[in-house]
Amino acid sequence: MKKRSLLKSVLAVGLAATILAGCGNNAKQEATDKTTIKVATSGTTNPYTTIGDDGENTGYDIDVLKAVFKKLPQYNLEFVTTDFASMFEGTLSGSYDIAVNNFSYSEKRSKSYLYSYPYDEISYVWVTKKGNDSINSFETAAGKTTVVSSGVSITLAEEKWNEENPDKQTNLTYSEQETPVTLQQIADGSVHYVIIDYAMFKAYQDVYNFDLQATDVSPEDTEMIAENNYAYYLFAYDHEQLRDEVNTVLKELKADGTLAALGEKWFGKDTSPDDTQFEKTLN
C-alpha cells in the first residue's frame, strides 16, 4: 500500500510539473506572439512629442498613441527618437511602422504615406522679437531669415513661396536644432522669425519666457502650409490594416472623451477634431 501511494504521489507530481511547464510555454508563446510596432518621432516638438524627466517618450501625440495601443493588446510599442529625414525615409523603407510628429496633411505627402484619422486641431503663428510687428505674412517676411527643418509642411510652404515669388524670397536656414535654440536666436536678433504651432510656442514660452511675440497666421497663408488644421499619424502604404486598426480606436477615444482629457492635460483645453472627422480617411 505504501509503495502504491508513493507511486501515485510521484505520478501526480510529474503530471503537475508537466501541466505547469505547458502553461509556462503557453505564456511564453503568448508573449512572443505580440508584434512590435516601431514608432519614429523627433522628441523635440514639445508639447506634442518630447522626452520626459524619466527619459521616456511623452507629449500629447505620444500619449494619444499609447492610449490607442492599450486597446490593441496584440502589439508592443517601441519608440525610436530620430530626425525628420529619417522619420520619412524609415517609414517608407519599413524600418518604422508609424511616424509621429504632429504632421499636417499635404497632397504631395499623401502620395507616399497613409494618413490616420486626425487626433488634434492645430493653429500656426508668426514668432518674432517682441515689438517687431512688421512680419505677419509670407509677403512681409521677404528678405528675412528663418530656421526650418527639411520636409515638414511649414518648410514646404516657404520653399513653394520662394519658388513662386523669386523677388520676395525669404532666407531659409536648414537645421535640425531644437526649437528653443531657434526662439533664443529670434530673441537675440540673429534670426528674424519662425512659423510654428501656437501650442508649441506657448509651451516653450512658459518655460523660457523669451522676449518674443506671436501673431496668428492668416487663413490664406495657413492654406499654403496645410490643406486643413489637423494633425495625423503617418503609415507606409503597405500598413493599411494597422492604420485602420488605429483609426478604429481613435474614433473610440474621441467618443469616450479620452482625446478631450489629453487635450486638457497638455493644452488646458479640448483640441480634438469634430466628430465628422472620424468618418472617412483622407487616403
Radius of gyration of the chain (CA): 25
- Measured CA to CA, the distance from residue 116 to residue 276 in angstroms comes to 14
- Picking from 195, 231, 186, 189, the residue whose alpha carbon sits closest to that of residue 216 is 195
CB 234, CB 114: distance < 8 Å: yes
Q: Per-residue pLDDT tens for 205-252?
A: 999 999 999 999 999 999 999 888 899 999 999 999 999 999 999 999
Packing angle, helices 240-255 and 258-267, rounded to 10: 80
Q: Is 229 helix (H, G, I), strand (E, B) or coil?
A: coil
Instruction: Count each helix (H run) and each strand (E run) in the chain, helices first.
Output: 10, 14
- Picking from 82, 93, 78, the residue whose alpha carbon sits closest to that of residue 41 is 82
CB 210, CB 198: distance < 8 Å: no
- Measured CA to CA, the distance from residue 234 to residue 283 in angstroms comes to 11
Q: Rounded mean pLDDT of 72-83?
A: 96
Binning pLDDT at 50, 70 and 90, where does residue 31 land? Answer: low
22 has a pLDDT exceeding 90: no
Q: Which residues pair with 216 in a beta bridge?
A: 125
- Picking from 257, 230, 253, the residue whose alpha carbon sits closest to that of residue 72 is 253
User: Would you state the pLDDT for residue 75?
Assistant: 97
- Picking from 264, 115, 122, the residue whose alpha carbon sits closest to that of residue 200 is 122
Q: Per-residue pLDDT tens for 93-145?
A: 999 999 999 999 988 899 999 999 999 998 899 999 999 999 999 999 999 99
Give the pTM: 0.75
